[in-house]
Amino acid sequence: MIVTNVVAEGAIASALRAFAKNEVSIADVLLTARTAGKGRAGTQIQALINEVLGRSDDQLSTLLSRVELVENVSWPEARAIIANGFAIDPGVDQQVVVQGLLGWMTETLVTAWRNGEVGMISRTACLKQVHAITRQLVRQRLLPRPAADVTVSEVEHRAAQTRDFVARLVEVRADDETIFEAVEHFLRFSAERYRLAAEGEIPAREWVDRGNRLKQRWRGVARQTVIEEVGRSEDELGRLILARTTFSHYEPIGQDPCNELYMTSGHYHRLADDSDVWWTPSRPRHGDAS
């Protein structure tokens, strides 16, 4: 594909338009091209023209018959045609892929024009870009959203204050800021886990396996804290276990790294809500834990 930032004019462009309307034959277009291709002796572009015109009539006729001037584009229709032509995966938002492709094409063309080069993009390059954008969208679908994009309402926040995981925090006298953040993480994790399960095709088994990995890590943190912090009160030990477990650890989801803290911290508080983990060195005072 060759793109220009001006309307294509001249004898060859006119002949191609007429051929598209079945007003002239391909032989007429070929004759026009051979005639118009003369008269620029000594220029660099003429050397390229001569190389093209040096091909046989059959070769040039085949080439010219496949040239299409795309003008007066209806973008809604064009986007559907582009999506179909590049066989964009229907499992992703095709309009997002097309928009990304057009953005990349614009940037590529503008860069070429600024450098005084021909604005030419191959189909292979377009296909590679389509595949790259599609892979990125698929990966985004499998990864959690940034915390700021997962909204938590005041109503949800108030309702969560009565849950068991909050009682686990109160047991170790966690401060108000820690409890507030824990509630945020719990609610965001719950919402995003549901979205990922519904849209991201993450199997339910992965959440079970991830929970088991988190519980194993928590047991190690708790034992190590008790050994290293001899002489601390139970409340102090509990706050240390809580901090070392939830404040800075980022657990992967499957084979993919997960850089959103709420997805790990919130998962721990979900486990605490189910009494699968707790923060005191001994079993929790409320509920039963396995």
pLDDT single digits (tens) 92-119: 888 889 889 989 988 988 888 788 887 7
Instruction: Please compute Rg for the chain using Cα positions.
Output: 32
Which carries the bigger pLDDT value, residue 186 or residue 118? Answer: 186
Task: Report how far residue 274's alpha carbon sits from residue 218's, in angstroms, rounded to the nearest whole number.
Answer: 15
pLDDT higher than 60, residue 285: no
The residue to which tokens 């109160």 are assigned: 170
Q: Write down the pLDDT at residue 245.
A: 98
pLDDT tens digit sequence for 47-60: 778 888 888 999 98
Give the number of other Cβ atoms within 10 Å of residue 117's Cβ.
Answer: 10
Which carries the bigger pLDDT value, residue 200 or residue 135? Answer: 135
Q: Write down the pLDDT at residue 273.
A: 96
Find the range with the poorest average confidence among 21-35, 91-105, 131-145, 271-285: 131-145
Question: Residues near 177 by Cβ (< 8 Å), separated by ≥ 6?
Answer: none
